[in-house]
């Protein structure tokens, strides 16, 4: 009896500490989204340069999560999260003491690698701890991503109100980072689900090359961009549409956190493929509204968008764990890595696209840097603000094309899974 109780307590502590580690990952997203404009102003960075810095977090993530997926079975999940702790601490401190473009670039990259390492270890850890309810527990675990972004945006709003600068805002991540590092070092970890089930490496690689898994990887490109690009750039894209664009992200992530907290009854009623289809339809509606409404209606749009993207990320991972289980930790990590890689590429492309729209709205041969350093009330400042008002919604409308394509893809997935289940029941 005592041994059973200890196992339950150990499982609970590991899960709670995993949530704390994901909270740090999410805080980095929420706070960075809130301080992007200030970084641009303090270091006189263009939107293209800001997009390059932001993108490093997204390609640091897939770099870590994909490499982690290949090695986590060998080195163990504990070593992976200790690496995450090290990169988080170094990256956060480098950001606080940044001097310009390159120090921000490197520090953001390190935080991205740390974030990827957390996912590489903790996604398979959660499924290893709770094999009987993977989808529900992955949703509970991933509620701390929007939950952390929600907290991060509140930190930005609060610290701005009391006059504390962005360095203090970034510094709030130090304490939870130290806490998750301390607790993980003390705890014992299980082996991954694939290792405990005795599935060979050959079987794992064969499953990863299956048509269904490759199809889901392609879909992950679109779902990740829809959720993460929109959230990370909301302060920039809608800065001139509303006085408090960061509150849009606060509302969106708050809805997502609540939705994932009540995931259990939803997952009992709906299969993963149906959740993905319904979610994508709602997300598309929300994204369209974000690009086309103004005033208080923008918050209604944010509410709808939050509902849409609420379950997508954890359900994409859970789909792999539930329906293609032989892919193991590598499958989940490749899925997450593919999503972040897609966001990286898309962010770089859209940063350039955003600047090109602004240049189209400015006088011919305008030097963007002259407009960036112009003070309030100056003609160039006013012209730049007007150009931004046009550019943000145009970027959102371009992004809307992705969930529209995904709706068709997920309709096909639902038909395929229904046919597969029917054939399985015949046997």
More confident residue, 86 or 340: 86
Q: Is the pLDDT of residue 389 over 80?
A: no
64-82: average pLDDT: 87
386-404: average pLDDT: 85
Q: Is the pLDDT of residue 1 over 50?
A: no
Q: Is the pLDDT of residue 69 over 90?
A: no
CB 117 within 8 A of CB 66: no
C-alpha 115/C-alpha 97 separation (Å) is 20
The pLDDT tens digits for 288-303 are 998 888 778 888 988 9
Average pLDDT, the chain: 85
The pLDDT tens digits for 410-419 are 999 999 999 9
What is residue 376's predicted lDDT score, i.e. its pLDDT? 65
CB 37 within 8 A of CB 244: no
Residue from 319, 112, 336 nearest 221 by CA? 336
What residues contact residue 190 under an 8 Å CB cut-off, 6+ apart?
Answer: 125, 128, 129, 196
What is residue 235's predicted lDDT score, i.e. its pLDDT? 62
Percent of the chain with pLDDT over 90: 30
Q: Is the pLDDT of residue 238 over 70?
A: no
C-alpha 248/C-alpha 250 separation (Å) is 5
Q: For the chain, which domains are there?
A: 2-426 (1.20.1250.20)
Q: Using a cut of 0.85, tell me whether the model's pTM lies above it.
A: no
What is residue 2's predicted lDDT score, i.e. its pLDDT? 45
More confident residue, 232 or 163: 163
What is residue 192's predicted lDDT score, i.e. its pLDDT? 77
């Amino acid at each position: 009896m005592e041994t059973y109780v200890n196992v339950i307590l150990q499982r609970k502590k590991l899960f709670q500490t995993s949530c704390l580690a994901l909270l740090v990952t999410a805080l980095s997203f929420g706070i960075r989204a809130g301080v992007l404009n200030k970084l641009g102003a303090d270091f006189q960075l263009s939107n293209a340069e800001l997009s390059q810095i932001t993108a490093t977090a997204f390609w640091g993530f897939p770099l870590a999560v994909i490499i982690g997926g290949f090695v986590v079975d060998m080195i163990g999940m504990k070593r992976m999260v200790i690496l995450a702790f090290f990169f988080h601490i170094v990256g956060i401190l480098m950001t606080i003491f940044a001097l310009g473009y390159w120090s921000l670039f490197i520090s953001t990259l390190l935080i991205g690698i740390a974030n990827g390492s957390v996912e590489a270890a903790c996604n398979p850890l959660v499924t290893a701890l709770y094999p009987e309810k993977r989808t529900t527990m992955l949703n509970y675990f991933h509620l701390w991503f929007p939950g952390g972004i929600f907290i991060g945006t509140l930190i930005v709003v609060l610290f701005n109100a009391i006059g504390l600068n962005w360095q203090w805002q970034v510094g709030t991540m130090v304490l939870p980072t130290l806490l998750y590092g301390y607790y993980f070092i003390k705890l014992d970890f299980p082996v991954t689900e694939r290792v405990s089930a005795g599935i060979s490496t050959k079987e794992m690689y064969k499953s990863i090359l299956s048509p269904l898994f490759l199809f889901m990887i392609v879909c992950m490109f679109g779902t990740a961009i829809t959720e993460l690009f929109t959230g990370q750039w909301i302060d920039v894209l809608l800065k001139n549409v509303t006085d408090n664009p960061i509150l849009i992200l606060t509302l969106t992530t708050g809805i997502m956190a609540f939705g994932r907290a009540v995931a259990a009854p939803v997952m009992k009623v709906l299969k993963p493929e149906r959740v993905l289809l319904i979610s994508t339809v709602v997300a598309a509606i929300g994204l369209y509204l974000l690009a086309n409404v103004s005033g208080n209606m923008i918050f209604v749009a944010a509410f709808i968008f939050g509902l849409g993207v609420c379950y997508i990320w954890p359900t994409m991972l859970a789909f792999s764990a539930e329906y293609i289980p032989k892919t193991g930790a590598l499958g989940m990590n490749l899925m997450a890595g593919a999503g972040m890689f897609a966001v990286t590429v898309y962010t770089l492309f859209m940063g350039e696209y955003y600047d090109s729209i602004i240049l189209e709205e400015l006088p011919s041969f305008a030097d963007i840097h002259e407009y960036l350093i112009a003070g309030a009330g100056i003609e160039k400042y006013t012209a730049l603000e007007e150009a931004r008002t046009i550019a943000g919604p145009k970027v959102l409308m371009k992004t809307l094309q992705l969930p529209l394509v995904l709706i068709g893809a997920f309709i096909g997935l639902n038909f395929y899974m229904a046919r597969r289940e029917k054939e399985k029941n015949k046997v």
